[in-house]
Each structure stands twice: as structure tokens, then as C-alpha cells.
Structure 1
Amino acid sequence: MSSLSSANSPSAANFCAIDFGTSNSAVAIPDPAGGMRLVALEGSRVTMPTAVFYFTEGRHDADGPPRAFGRAALAAYVEGTDGRLMRSMKSILGSSLIDQTTDAGGGRGVKYFDMLAGYLKRLKGQAEAAAGHAIDRVVLGRPVFFVDEDPVRDAAAQASLASAAHAVGFTDIHFQFEPIAAAFDYERQAPAEQLVLVADIGGGTSDFSIVRVGPERMARLDRREDILANHGVHIAGTDFDRHVELAAILPEFGYRSLGPAKPGQVPREVPSGVYFDLATWHLINTVYSPQRMAELRSMRSFYGDTRHHDRLMTVVEDRLGHELASRAEDAKIAVAAGGQVEVDLGLIESGLSVRFDADGAHQALGRDIERIAQAGRETVALAGLTPDRIDALYFTGGSTGLVPLAERIAADYPTARRVQGDAFASVATGLGLHAARLFRAQA
């Protein structure tokens, strides 16, 4: 890594923009040739999975327990390395978990806040390495709502993210809504002044914004009057994955199954708490505590089909919860275009598999898709507009690759031009454009 020169002058290009995503993250820095450029975070890739793997073995360094980031973190998990994988860290913001300590393996405890800050430090370090100097100013993206219908927790979520940014060395911190940043990216290709509805469907939130864009507006720093409405719901890719797992995979492990038949009694459904935890990334590890496993072992008599309990205990005792969640995500992707997939579960029981197809996806995700589409319609109404006034519909975020979702949203705006942005980099690019306008205006 090259040495870092000081860049303390307000005129220096000592700033960056960070899209800290639920599933993937990206960073933009000033380009010496002008404009902004995305940083290659892993090889030539400009996005990096928002993932950290804590190794059970190895010595602490100044930054904490030994760990890997991004694709290296996912690879360590897939290869069966002893340790703990953390994903969807953004979902912790605004929850009580942010101040709690969790087991990172090997008897080591790590605060969720430090976990999040460590990932931001990694992004900051890569930005500085690419720029060749220190960086202490940043524009961070944020969803319209970190937490739905709870402004106190939503404010706490942004404050926690700002605290983490301060903790890793940023001194001048600004935020911009992610869908508005995406509108800035679209604006570069807008042929004339338009009203664009940005649909930013990521891993954790589905955000909509109506923004007035146009060539003559691009140079303006203050764009508040061009933001006509923004709205969102805390439903997106990770929710889709959870519902796919619950609908297609976990019934083979006892989810919604019945207990044994007893004379004169209606069979009861087995307790469902463990299944919801297994389908939620940041809760999976809670199932592995000795006390929880002992409780689950004692519940075998609750199952009418004890094979379900046997499979469940294999998942828990062999710590295969994240593997099931990954297979649910893969199944969602496989049927995104209307196909079908056979989900191999042979690692739990020889010959075990389940089929998942477009009809299953519709049943599992239909309610979520409709709620997301409703959020888009509500955004238009908040702006005092009707759907026919929308000139362009701009899709960004990894979950817009789910064809039924994109088609359902687009159906409400039949006269709008439909544009697919870069699923993973549009927001970072737009945040970079905003950062350049903001910080260069301060110079």
C-alpha cells in the first residue's frame, strides 16, 4: 500500500462517497482527470459484499480479532473455516443490538458497533489507498427510512452510522438519500427536464423518490426544491430471501408442521420461533447457543414427524443456518426470470431436495411485492401527482433484477420510460456526484 500524504486543506480532494449497502457496498473518490470514479474494492470489482468473517483462531491486532471482508469473508464461510460470518450489518442500525456484544467465535466477544465501524474503516482505507492521501470528509448514503414509522429509531440509526464514521477518522460527515443519489446518476442521461420516479430496491429497504432532473439543473448544489417526494418501506431483498426460505425450505425441517395426534385433541403446530430466527441473517447465530440447543433437543416430542426434528437438529448442531439462508437466496435468484430450481439439501439428509418455481415465488413474495408497489404509488400521491405525470421510472438496487417485482412496479406507470440503472453502483456514482458538488463548493 502506498504511503498517505496529508490532505488537510479544504481545497484538497480529501473526500469520498460511500454507499454502505445491506448486501453490497461501493466507494467513489475524486478522479485526478476530473469528475469522480468508483474505487476497485476487490480486484477489478467496484462493489464488495457487506460481509465480515471473524476467524476463531489467530491473534488480535490493533483493529481487533482476525477477520476477512467482502468476498474473502464469504469464501471463508463456504470453505468451512472455523469462525463467524456477519452479513446485513446495516439492518442492525436503529435496533438495540448496535450496543450489544456478540460471540465472534473462540470465546471472543465483538460489539456490533465495532463490527460495523471495522467494515467502514476497511472501505475508508481502500479509498485512501486508491487516492494516495488521507481522506476525512465523506458523504454517506442512507435509505429514506432505516426504520419504518419510527422517527426516533430512524434518527438513532443515522446517529449510529455517523458515530461509526467518526470512530474511523471521518471528521466532516454528510448524508444523502440513496434514491436521490440514484436520480443524480440518471440525470446525466436525461435528454430534457423530467420528473423521474427512482425505485431503489436493495437488500434492506425499498425506497422511492420523485426528483425533477435535467441538464440545466445538474450544476445546482441545493436541489431541495427538485425533490418532490420520498417514501419507502423496510422490505427488500433480505425479506425476499427470508420468505423464500420459510416457504420453500424450512417446511422440510418442521416449519408449520403439526405435533403428534392425541385422542380428543387437535394437533398443535410446532413452535415457529426457531424458524424465523434461522431465516434472519443476523439472528441465525442466536440459535447456536448451548441453552437454545438444549431447549430444541427437548422438543422432539412436539413433532408429529420426528424426521423434521432430526433435520432441524442437524442444522443447529452443525451450524448450517447460514448455508440454508444462502440456498434460499440462490433459489430466489434462479427463479427471478420465471424459471425453476431444485434446491439440494443433501448436506442435511442424503437425497433431500425441494423444488422452487415462479408460482412458489409469487406465493412467497406476492404480499411484499404489492407493499413495495404501494409505496411507489404513495410517493406519487405525496408529490401531488398522478401516474401519467411520471416521465421516467429509474430502477436501481440488486433486487430490481427480480422480474415480477420490476414488472409490477412498472405496471402502475404505463407511459413512463423504463430505465435500468447499474444495480449495484448507481447509488455510489450519484453519491460521488453530490460529494463533488458539496465539498468543492466549500473549497
Structure 2
Amino acid sequence: MSSPQDLSIGIDFGTSNTVVAIADASGRVEALTFDHRETVLKVYATALCFWDERHGNGFRTHVEGGPWAIEQFLEGLTAHRFIQSFKTFAASATFQETRIFRERFRFEDLLGTFVRTLLRHSNAPVELGARNVVVGRPVEFAGFNPDDALAMRRYRAAFGALGAKQAHYVYEPVGAAFFYARQLERDATVLVADFGGGTSDFSVMRFSRSGGVLKAEPLSHAGIGIAGDAFDYRIVDQIVSPRLGKGGSYRSMGKVLAIPNHYYANFARWNQLAMMKSSGDLKELRELARVALDPAPLEKFIDIIDYDLGFDLYRAVSAAKVALSAHEETEFHFKGEGVDIRADVTRHQFESWIAEEVSQIARTVDRAIASAGVRPEDIDRVFLTGGTSFVPAIRRLFLDRFGESRLTSADQFESIAYGLALIGQADNPDRWAIAEDETATLLLQ
């Protein structure tokens, strides 16, 4: 590729996976790669594992990220903390910090630590300082009552500490649009639908050619904090939680009371599950188990948290979700440390569980189209990206509105990072991070 000063870096920091791409002035773009157990990876799992080891008379905390974090967690040879899906905390004012052994970590500390592990493992040396860095961000952050300004302060603090003080922050679907636009052969109005783990984001873009130059006009952006993790939540809530005491009762001061549901709400969210061991939830569950009318299910619940089985549960849920995209029925199976949960689940059941989330996503798509001032029939192409776009109920949403002939897709992981890196080669990357009520005409180099 070109000399370092000519390169731009695109960072797609995702809820489940992260991809970093590098582009040069000629338009060539490549993803950073990572060698892990004789496999070359382009996708870096968004996960952190901290562990303590004795050094002399004290202990020292170590940290790994990506597949190395998962590997360290699964080995489980020392005391450790495993954290995944922490992007969901970005816009949460209630999340101030978490204690990991002897240190306190804010969101920006977790993000900075994670990116440092990624850069350390990269096959190509990368310095974020003195580079044109473009970071993706969702149109709307995930979580209850998300604070967009807070999330962006945290992003800027994290990447600023990494040397990217002048980084540009661009909507993730706009990055995907930039990537997709290179293959357009004629003028087109394009709806880009980006489905991540925590958010679903949509951009309507008008592309046209004039004098051999491809121009892009952003017409609208819309997003919602619902995506793949919300679908996972429904599987856990419907299949797993009822077998771990949800709906059960306990006795207190002569009264029979329902076990509070908030423990199960936290349990079914990957980011919250990663914190339950240190948040006080585990201690409270132990106390509830002592007075529960039927303590056995609660004891299994406690074992899952106590033995850090959250990642195994995550894999079981993901496997079931993927299977239901290809088959009408599958068996959900989760097993570990004496906990064994099996259940047959049909696609029809799954779609009934996620029906409200799909409806909310559909309304967000409709809002993006209406805000663009166009009709569904005016959309020439629909570009789908992200793993959740393969869920049949989601694909059917777009088929019903636009038809098969207008749908297209690309690599579910890499397209956003590639587009972000290419935006870094544009004359003014900041113009791509416009607010929904602004208009601009952009040139694709």
C-alpha cells in the first residue's frame, strides 16, 4: 500500500465484533488481520478478559482482547473478569464505572484498553496518531434513554487517549453506503440498512454521476437501539430464564413474594450479564435462594454467574438463532457445571417472540424513508449489511416493501470498516457525519 502518511483508517467498533480497515489514496482498502491459532482473522471479537497473577508479594492484572480474551476466559486458570457487548454502555448515564480487581474502569477506559489489544495483535503495525482516522457510530445508541452527547464524549476521550484526537465520527450505515456506492453504474437512490448487535441503523442516500465523478447526497438517517442482542434476549427470556427460577417465589416476613424480575432482565442482556458477578446481584441471589420456595432453579442461576458461563450461554443462543435462519426448527442446548437446558424451538415461536422488535425496526425504516421525502417505490437499491439481516423475519420486512430484485448485500462484517476507511480519503470526511436535518452534496473520490 501507500506510504503511512497517505493512509486512512476506518474503525467499525461493534457490539459483538470489531473490524479495522486501511485505505490508500488509490482506493485500495484492506482489513487488518490477526493470526490466532493458525487462522487468519479479519474480525476481532469485541470482548475483554482481565485476570490476576501473583508477582512477588502481590498481584498484577493482565488483559487480553478479541479471540485471545475468549481463549483466556475459557481456560479459566486464575481469577478473571470477562466483559462482552460493552458498547451498549456507551450512552448510559447510569454506567459510570466498573471495578476490575484493584482498578476502576469507565467506559472510555474499557474502549481504549480494547483497541490497544487489537492494535497489539494486528499483523500490520498501526499508529492512530498522525493518521486520518474515521470511527463509525450508530445513528442511535443502544440502551434505555441513550445519551448521544455522553456517548460521543466517551468515544472522543477514548480515541483521543489513543492518539486520534482529530478522528472523524461517521454514521455506520453511511460507511456502508460509501463502500456500496463504488459498484453503482448509474444514478440511484439507495437505502442502506445496517444491523449490528446493539443497534439497527438506516440511511437513504442519493448517488449520481457528473463529469465522471460520483456524488452522494444524504437524504435521511434513522436508527433504533434494537438488533441482534434484543433477539438473543427473547431466546434467553423464553427458554432459559423460566428454568432458572423466573416466575418463582420466596418467603419473607411470613409473606410469599415473587422473585424480582430485574435479575432475569439483567441476565438476558449480554452487557449486563458480564457485570452481575461484581454488581451485587450474585450476593442478592444467594440470599434469595435461601428463602425460595423452590431453591434448585435459583441455584442453577447462581452457578451460571458464579462459574462465568455467560459466554457458553451466548454461543448456545447464537447457534440457535443461526439455525433458525436456515431451518424451521432447532434444538436449543446449553450445558455447563451441572446446568443442562434443552428445548425444541421453532422459527414460528422465535418470530412471535421478536414480533414487537421487528415492528419497531419496520417503523424506523419507514421513518427513514419518510424523512428522505421519497416513497418506497422511489428506492432503487436496498443494501443490507450485518448478521441480523439474515434473520428471515427481517429479510421478509424488506422483501415485502421492496421486492427481491432491489435487495443486495455484502460481507456482513467488513463493509462498514471498508467504507469508513475510504471516507478517510475523501476531501472532507467530517461532511459525512451530518445531522439528520442537514443536507449536503458529497464527492466520492
Give the TM bin, normalised by the shorter chain: 0.7 to 0.9
Q: CA deviation at 1:298?
A: 2.6
SS in 1 for 2:6: coil
Count, aligned residues: 420
What per-residue deviation string (whole Å, max 9, x for no partner) do you get for residues 389-427 of structure 1?
111111001211222212223312237611011100111
Question: Which of these residues, 91, 99, 104, is aligned with residue 100 of structure 2?
Answer: 104
Question: Which of these residues, 191, 199, 215, is aligned with residue 197 of structure 1?
Answer: 191
Unaligned 5+ residue runs, structure 2?
430-442
Q: CA deviation at 1:128?
A: 9.3
Partner of 1:67: 63
Partner of 2:165: 171
- The residue type equivalent to 1:250 in the other structure is S
Question: Which of these residues, 407, 410, 416, is aligned with residue 399 of structure 2?
Answer: 410
Matched, 1:232 2:232: no
Q: CA deviation at 1:168?
A: 0.7
**CA distance in structure 1 between the partners assigned to 2:237 and 2:144 by the alignment:** 26
Matched, 1:91 2:82: no
Kept after mapping to 2: 8 A contact 1:190/1:214: no
**CA distance in structure 2 between the partners assigned to 1:424 and 1:408 by the alignment:** 21
SS in 2 for 1:437: coil
Alignment of 1:129-148 (within 5 A): 129-130=124-125, 135-146=130-141
**CA distance in structure 2 between the partners assigned to 1:351 and 1:91 by the alignment:** 29
SS in 1 for 2:139: coil
Deviates more, 1:44-53 or 1:409-418: 409-418
Kept after mapping to 2: 8 A contact 1:17/1:29: yes
SS in 2 for 1:419: strand
- The residue type equivalent to 1:76 in the other structure is Q
Question: Which of these residues, 154, 160, 163, is aligned with residue 160 of structure 1?
Answer: 154
Matched, 1:364 2:353: yes
Matched, 1:38 2:31: yes
SS in 2 for 1:144: coil
What per-residue deviation string (whole Å, max 9, x for no partner) do you get for residues 106-128 of structure 1?
x4543332111122234455679
Give the direction of change, closer, same or farther, for the CA distance of 1:34–1:198 in structure 2 (3 Å limit): closer
Q: CA deviation at 1:380?
A: 0.8
Give the direction of change, closer, same or farther, for the CA distance of 1:350–1:373 in structure 2 (3 Å limit): closer
Give the direction of change, closer, same or farther, for the CA distance of 1:77–1:245 in structure 2 (3 Å limit): same
Give the direction of change, closer, same or farther, for the CA distance of 1:147–1:87 in structure 2 (3 Å limit): closer
**CA distance in structure 1 between the partners assigned to 2:183 and 2:134 by the alignment:** 23
Give the direction of change, closer, same or farther, for the CA distance of 1:233–1:350 in structure 2 (3 Å limit): closer
Q: CA deviation at 1:14?
A: 4.8
Matched, 1:436 2:433: no
- The residue type equivalent to 1:89 in the other structure is F
Kept after mapping to 2: 8 A contact 1:284/1:322: no
Give the direction of change, closer, same or farther, for the CA distance of 1:307–1:54 in structure 2 (3 Å limit): same
Q: CA deviation at 1:341?
A: 2.9
Partner of 1:247: 238
Question: Which of these residues, 36, 51, 54, is aligned with residue 55 of structure 1?
Answer: 51
Q: CA deviation at 1:191?
A: 2.4
Give the direction of change, closer, same or farther, for the CA distance of 1:247–1:165 in structure 2 (3 Å limit): same
Deviates more, 1:320-329 or 1:394-403: 320-329
Kept after mapping to 1: 8 A contact 2:307/2:337: no
- The residue type equivalent to 1:71 in the other structure is P
Q: CA deviation at 1:31?
A: 4.2
Indicate the RMSD between aligned Cα atoms, in angstroms.
3.3
Kept after mapping to 1: 8 A contact 2:47/2:70: yes
**CA distance in structure 1 between the partners assigned to 2:192 and 2:413 by the alignment:** 14
What per-residue deviation string (whole Å, max 9, x for no partner) do you get for residues 288-337 of structure 1?
24954342223237645433223223223333334323322222222122
**CA distance in structure 2 between the partners assigned to 1:289 and 1:127 by the alignment:** 31
Q: CA deviation at 1:229?
A: 0.9
Give the direction of change, closer, same or farther, for the CA distance of 1:132–1:241 in structure 2 (3 Å limit): closer
Partner of 1:387: 376
Taking structure 1 as the reference length, the TM-score comes to 0.84
More strand by share: 2
Q: CA deviation at 1:194?
A: 0.8
Q: CA deviation at 1:246?
A: 0.8
Unaligned 5+ residue runs, structure 1?
1-5
Partner of 2:10: 17
**CA distance in structure 1 between the partners assigned to 2:237 and 2:192 by the alignment:** 30
Q: CA deviation at 1:268?
A: 5.4
Deviates more, 1:375-384 or 1:76-85: 76-85
Q: CA deviation at 1:215?
A: 4.8
Kept after mapping to 2: 8 A contact 1:183/1:213: no
Give the direction of change, closer, same or farther, for the CA distance of 1:385–1:372 in structure 2 (3 Å limit): same
Give the direction of change, closer, same or farther, for the CA distance of 1:185–1:352 in structure 2 (3 Å limit): closer
Q: % of aligned pairs identical? A: 26
Q: CA deviation at 1:171?
A: 3.1
Kept after mapping to 2: 8 A contact 1:255/1:275: yes
**CA distance in structure 2 between the partners assigned to 1:298 and 1:148 by the alignment:** 29
Matched, 1:118 2:113: yes
Taking structure 2 as the reference length, the TM-score comes to 0.84
**CA distance in structure 1 between the partners assigned to 2:171 and 2:246 by the alignment:** 38
**CA distance in structure 2 between the partners assigned to 1:282 and 1:149 by the alignment:** 13
Partner of 1:3: none
Partner of 2:202: 208
